[in-house]
Amino acid sequence: MGWSGKKPTDFALDIVKDCETHVKKVAGVGLQSVVVGSPVQDGAYRGNHRISINTEDYSYDLQEQDLNGSSTIAKGNAEIVKFKLGDIAYIQNNLPYALRLENGWSGQAPNGVYSIAFQNMRNMK
């Protein structure tokens, strides 16, 4: 992207759009990382990852099970596309045992889930 043939206002709008696109990609990588990295027994943990914009979502539903993660990713991506520059995107899981899983309780994810996802997001350029 450059100035060539553009008004400064158009250039500024391009910057905003590019920033929003980048944050959406980072949030998508975070969501993908937590879902794919989730230990799976009945799919409840995997199915309860929440994406919300500007408001934390403290809900959870033990009946919301997603063994392969595709439904959770689709729901999360539907929220991510709503992101605008200046918003806050939250990725969280509020199941009562989520903190134990993050602290290595599961042999399927001995190094946690969110900490690894954060590293993946942090390494994005």
Return the residue matching tokens 């992207």. 1
What is the predicted pLDDT for the residue at 3? Answer: 59
Task: Say what the pTM is.
Answer: 0.88
- pLDDT for 2 equals 59
Per-residue pLDDT, 89: 96
pLDDT tens digit at each of 125 positions of the chain: 555 677 778 888 999 999 999 999 999 999 999 999 999 999 999 999 999 999 999 999 999 999 999 999 999 999 999 999 999 999 999 999 999 999 999 999 999 999 999 999 999 87
Half-sphere exposure (CA, 13 Å, Cβ side) for 94?
11
Cβ contact 101:112 at 8 Å: yes
Q: What is the pLDDT of residue 94?
A: 97
Query: What is the reported pLDDT for 103?
Result: 96
Residue 42: per-residue pLDDT: 96
Buried b (16+ CB within 10 A) or exposed e, 73-99: bebbeebbeebeeeeebebbbebeebe
